[in-house]
């Protein structure tokens, strides 16, 4: 199984492709140097296979590379960061 995670700025989301099929996405709203993640969705055919976790990990790694921050409004993104505190430094301070 090959996976690819890529940003789709036209749709404001990071997508995960599994064997060239769109398996899921995590949507964001750009606010300057901060991305507000609002929703994560995985196609039912790919649920229970770690696709969502792989998607969030790849997305957070890309955010770190870009040097931007995020606000995890999506419960799945927030829970992933709670379980993986090495990404906590990417969370922007809330006003």
Question: Which two three-digit tokens encode residue 48?
Answer: 């229970």
Residue 86 in any domain: the answer is yes
Segment 8-34 shows an average pLDDT of 96
Question: Which two three-digit tokens encode residue 27?
Answer: 């949507």
Residue 64 in any domain: the answer is yes
The domain containing residue 9 runs over which residues? 3-90
CATH number of 27's domain: 3.40.630.30
Residue 35 in any domain: the answer is yes
Q: Global pTM?
A: 0.94
How many domains are there within the chain? 1
Residue 95 in any domain: the answer is no
Residue 31 in any domain: the answer is yes
Q: Any residues with CB less than 8 A from the CB of 95 and at least 6 apart, and which?
A: none
Say which residue the tokens 């064997």 belong to.
19
State residue 93's pLDDT score.
82
């Amino acid at each position: 199984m090959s996976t690819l995670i890529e940003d789709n700025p036209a749709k404001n989301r990071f997508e995960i492709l599994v064997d060239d099929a769109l398996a899921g996405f995590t949507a964001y709203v750009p606010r300057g140097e901060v991305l507000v993640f609002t929703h994560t969705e995985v196609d039912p055919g790919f649920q229970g296979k770690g696709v969502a976790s792989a998607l969030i990990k790849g997305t957070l790694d890309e955010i770190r590379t870009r040097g931007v921050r995020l606000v995890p409004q999506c419960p799945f993104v927030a829970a992933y960061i709670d379980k993986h505190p090495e990404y906590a430094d990417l969370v922007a301070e809330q006003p």
